[in-house]
Structure 1
Amino acid sequence: MTPNLKPKAATLYIVIAFAIVYVVWGSTYFFIRMAVEGFPPMLMGAVRYILAGLLLLGWCALRKQPIWNFRDVINSGVGGILMLFIANGIVIWVEQVLPSAMVAIMVSANPVWLVVLDKANWRVNLRNPATLLGLITGFAGVLLLFGQELGQQTAHVTAGYFQGIILLALAPVAWAAGSLWSKGKTSNSPVSVNTAWQMIIAGLAFLPMSALNNEFAAFDAQAVPLRSWLAILYLILFGSIAAFSSYVWLLKVRSATQVGTHSYVNPVIAVLLGVFFAGEHIGFWHIAGLVVILFSVLLINLDKYLKRSLQGSPGRSPFNWMRRRSRTTTCVE
């Protein structure tokens, strides 16, 4: 069970954290588009993560939490560089040359790479038919969701199109590696402190990239529209502080594969927001994709649901015959 939490309280916190990661990160597509109307992409990443990290670190200091431990800062920095700077930075950059549908499809490979790189749990994940089927089903659902738009947009190929594809293929690998790094490192600091340092260090890494891209010279703060400032505020408070903090905490109390299901659910939220707030059209294949994606999340979590419902009745899970002698080390104790 989650340390120092009663069972019902722990379950409630986990449900809330998943809801935040699913919904808020699904909405960031919409708000990032608003933000880049006034901010250059690399500068936007720097502003978003530095401010979010400083605000969270300040909050931790007010709560008298220890905010400096050299080893923990270094470990947090590695995770932040991999997840926020490399993975998210690639996504921001390639959206200048690739259609958003292609970006969404390739980023949805995060859960697959979480399984591939999670060597410590290969015996569990690769022998769990529900998990494997869920991963494949979720990716198929994303293809259904964006397949029609992808076919229409790939006809317009720009000069950097193929270079963008190569770069984007690295983003899910970096995100999965950073997630597993963060999960595997023991820490003497609170999760919120480690999260703050991840964002600060990643934000600082965006600054030289912004300078190399000559974004400082072209940026005029007075010319930034109000909607872009409000979008940055949303990304800082909700997309970074609330959602990323929830994600890092979930990595400590749930398996990386289970937490990685956000990569399948976020596109669902993005489509729904587009329909209800941007007047976008949703057709049959969109609905089919949404259903398939939600079903994949159920499959990935199915074994844990069965374990909970059949607690005290060992051997009754239909998947136990595949791995009776194995035991997951990523469940909450």
Structure 2
Amino acid sequence: MKHISIIVPNEAVPTSIVDPRYMFTAVNQFLEARGQAPLFKVQLVGLTRDVPLNNGIFSVHPDVLVDDVKQTDLILVPALSGDMKRAVEINRDFIPWIIRHHSRGAEVASLCIGAFLLAATGLLNGRECSTHWLYADEFREMFPEVELIDGRIISEEQGVYSSGGASSYWNLLLHLVEKYTSREMAIQAAKFFALEIDRKSQSPFIMFNGQKKHEDEPIKEAQEFIESNIAEKISVEELAVKFAIGRRHFVRRFKKATNNTPLEYIQRVKIEAAKKMLESSNKNVTEVMYDVGYNDTKAFRTIFKKITGMSPVDYRHKYNKEAAYA
């Protein structure tokens, strides 16, 4: 059974506590209706037995206090409200608890501007993050060491998740349901909650920006070479020779610096360029394919769909206004 801890911060947005609890308890009910055992143990976790919200209009009574939780698999950080610096400060006692359980293997996910409290733990340092667009400047000012990605619905890296603003956190909840159960169960949850589901369709929102916050200069040069030559067919062997590094050592260094293998990086750079062309130009899919260095239609479509979750044609029709009405 997966243990899910939804923390109850002071100044939290009430719906961002209620909604995830409802989501995972509903999935338990779906499973029981199929004759299966419930999968999730969902608990509200607080610093005190009574947490007033919205200036006392609401009051939440957590199931347990932080010191009562000995083990958990997923910690959900609800959205905060009010002044963010103050909201983080009055909830600072959650920080060591979150860090401790993450070090023991728990995953951590923030909903909307719960990202401020998650970032205060340091777990997002050097990682990408999503939050509400309205708070982007303030977030960057408070946490310059975190890479905030504008407009992204879901960010996920090494068991740390964050979601975009307002109701888009439902997409993250569906993502987690699918991860912990199945695609079929996520679809059932989406239908029950009247949510649009297509986990893979979230991928088009992700704008690939190669990780360059490292000190390996030859690898940075290799990244820049790839990005400057999207129309060329570049092999890993050619890169290793060009930058005078043995192939195996080059692959290890590249992966360590960028979190991608050289081949993955080449593919993602090319597909990101293809996405932009499909969004904004009048070129058809074949023309775009050649422009980014592919001449095998099947291979291009396979890699494009693997990265974006959509075919090139579907992507063009969804994001290119002129193509949509063609």
TM-score, normalization by structure 1: 0.22
Greater helix share, structure number:
1
Q: Point out which structure has higher relative CO (alpha carbons under 8 A, 6+ apart).
A: 1
TM-score, normalization by structure 2: 0.22
